[in-house]
Amino acid sequence: MKNRLKVLRAENDLTQQQLADKLSVSRQTINAIEKGKFDPSLPLAFAMARLFGCAIEEIFSEA
């Protein structure tokens, strides 16, 4: 699954660790999601969307 997480994180001036802390996950989880090696759970995807104030579809899309 493709995602815009890295772009959104940079636009909000957040490090991977800061984003991970806000979402209660590890920095490694954020790194894996950004690299497309891990797809987040639905609750985590909703949490990301709430944090960035957008729809899940604006963060994630099918490759």
Phi, psi (rounded to 5 degrees) for 12:
-100, 10
Predicted local confidence at residue 41, as pLDDT = 97
Tokens of 16: 């991977």
User: For residue 1, what pLDDT band results from cuts at 50, 70 and 90?
Assistant: confident
Predicted local confidence at residue 27, as pLDDT = 98
Residue ranges covered by each domain of the chain:
2-61
CATH architecture, domain 2-61: Orthogonal Bundle (1.10)
Is the pLDDT score of 63 beyond 80? no
Reduce the DSSP state of residue 61 to 3 states and report it: strand
- Per-residue pLDDT of 10-62, as tens digits, reads 999 999 999 999 999 999 999 999 999 999 999 999 999 999 999 999 999 98
